[in-house]
Amino acid sequence: MDLLQEVVGVPPTGRSLSRPRQSGVTMVLDKGLGLGETRDLLEVAGSYIDFIKLGFGTTVLYNPPLLAAKVEMVRSFGIEIYPGGTFVEIAIARGRLSPCLRRLKEVGFTAVEISDGSLTLDQKTRVHAINLARNAGFVVLTEIGKKNPKIYAGPSEMARQAVADRKAGAEWIIIEGRENGSRTWIYDTNGRLKDSVCDAFLTAVGEPAVLIWEAPRKAQQVKFIHRFGPDVNLGNIPPGEVLSLEAMRRGLRGDTISLIIDVPDPCQVPAQDRIPG
């Protein structure tokens, strides 16, 4: 262990660095990093990343050799990589899911997200897509919730969908939080978590360990860590904030230092130790 790590007792919260992790998963939203930027991200923070999602439909916009090189680089660090759910939604809508999965496998992708955030899938189609992806050898994640804030489904309906997805074979359930972390079924217009909705959903779903909460904002990440602990699964993390999130998970930021050190109430600090003012 490095001396600096030894001084502060890293890993203070006992976080595992070995993958595949079954908890404390971090999913990064990649909106178009080049090879150099990807290499920098992986060398600096690769140990703390479990999934990289190539956002939206950006997968088809890469030069094919560049895409293959990027996927190979990510996989060399033991990280799962997959295209955004919107990309797969379009393939399903056009009746092209099977050839799409074959091509993704050829390129080297290891995971697939099945969602209906932008379009609408009936349950039979959703289950069929999950089965196709599993049978093709992909890690299957599904996402619940709509991107359009005018289309709202309550926590009970979302829980039923999550349970059905798990029964169909999904390994992880992503809770829609969007790129900006606002105006979804779990966040209000200011990006604050709807606690009552979250409580009702968790009561109904009964399997919180497989949930990945999309939380692109720092305040949301802090909220989830304080609520569920440092091993909560979080997604849509901007590439430049992976280390910051890991620091929060380990109590190495002021927002979460109470995870590892008893921080006294300022009112309880002895008078002689108080800062005047």
User: Which tens digits make up the pLDDT trace of 141-195?
Assistant: 999 998 887 787 889 999 999 999 999 999 999 999 999 999 999 999 999 999 9
Number of domains in the chain: 1
Domain housing 41: 3-273
- What is the per-residue burial (b if ≥16 Cβ within 10 Å, else e) of 219-233? ebbbbbbeebebbbb
pLDDT tens readout for residues 187-230: 999 999 999 999 999 999 988 999 999 999 999 999 999 999 99
Q: What is the structure's pLDDT at 265?
A: 56
Q: What CATH number did the domain enclosing 60 receive?
A: 3.20.20.70
